[in-house]
Amino acid sequence: MKILKFRLYGRNAFFKKPDVNAILYYTYGNIHKVALLGMFGAILGYGGYNNMDFYNQKSKKQMDYPEFYSKLKGLKISIVPKNEGFFEKKVQIFNNTVGYASKEQGGNLITREQWLEYPSWDIYFQICDEISENLADSIQNRRAVYIPYLGKNDHIANIDNVELFEDKDIEILKNTKNIDCMFKENMFRFNNYEEDEENEEEDDDDFYEKIDPFKYQERLPVALEQSTNLYVMEKFIFTNMNVSVNCDIDIFEVGGRKIVFY
């Protein structure tokens, strides 16, 4: 098995939440798996939601998912946010004056979007089939069929610091006291004080140096529901606090980081 890692960042990002009102369009606080697969689909030239509608009308057949999701939904990814997972958000205001945008006098529609400011993540994915091989090759050689962006074509995605890890660089663990990526809530549980005291003698001396603990958590899209293509949501956590494995999963130690894939 091989793993590709790269840094993904930009000036702004907008990962639109479907639950909006007429005043403000909200963004998720971090990139999520579906958005990431959409960006990978753009790199490889796969169709999106608009192509799906065109295919259904032309062929009179029902396509269950957009092409990018059909091809990439099995890809195992891991996301490591910068800034402890918290990125500043700012509201941007736009005037839409095309005339048919609003029934108000003058036809002017004022829209507001919440953008992430200077977001940055380290992205990992497993290379285990032809599609992931092609994706890794495209990223390593800076090739893309369509321009990748961060949720919206106003926000160009920047990719650098690409690294390829092979079997000899990867160690698989069954447990750990800390995890360096975002993870699903059910994967780990937080250690209490008594558990830490029991295991203190087995730890490195510097492991228990005083740190400023942080915990980011948010319900994020992890998949698409087949019949409606609506988001399937799960709670994700990113923290530097001590944890223990809560289910049967593999933890990958890659380049000094302990990460899980989903």
- Element holding 57 (H helix, E strand): helix 49-59
Confidence label for 105 from pLDDT (cuts 50, 70 and 90): low
pLDDT at 21 over 60: yes
Determine the Cα–Cα distance for residues 231 and 224; give it in Å rounded to an integer: 5
- The CATH number given to whatever domain includes residue 14 is 3.30.70.2660
pTM: 0.88
Confidence label for 192 from pLDDT (cuts 50, 70 and 90): confident
Confidence label for 17 from pLDDT (cuts 50, 70 and 90): very high
Please report the pLDDT score of residue 11 as a whole number.
97
Listed range (16-20, 60-64, 86-90, 158-162) with the worst mean pLDDT: 60-64
The DSSP result for 149-210, as a single string, is BSSSTTSBPEEEEEEEE-GGGEEEES--S---S-EEGGGEEE--HHHHHHTGGGS-GGGGS-
Phi, psi dihedrals of residue 12, rounded to the nearest 5° = -145, 165
Angle, helix 33-44 to helix 130-140, in steps of 10 degrees: 80
Confidence label for 151 from pLDDT (cuts 50, 70 and 90): very high
Q: For 107-112, what is the mean pLDDT? A: 78
Q: Which of 72, 88, 73, 84 is nearest to 27 (CA)?
A: 88
Please report the pLDDT score of residue 238 as a whole number.
98
Please report the pLDDT score of residue 257 as a whole number.
97
Q: Which domain holds residue 95?
A: 2-259
Count: domains in the chain = 1
Please report the pLDDT score of residue 108 as a whole number.
73
Please report the pLDDT score of residue 200 as a whole number.
47
Please report the pLDDT score of residue 49 as a whole number.
83
Q: Are 92 and 110 within 8 A, CB to CB?
A: no
Listed range (43-57, 66-80, 116-130, 231-245) with the worst mean pLDDT: 43-57
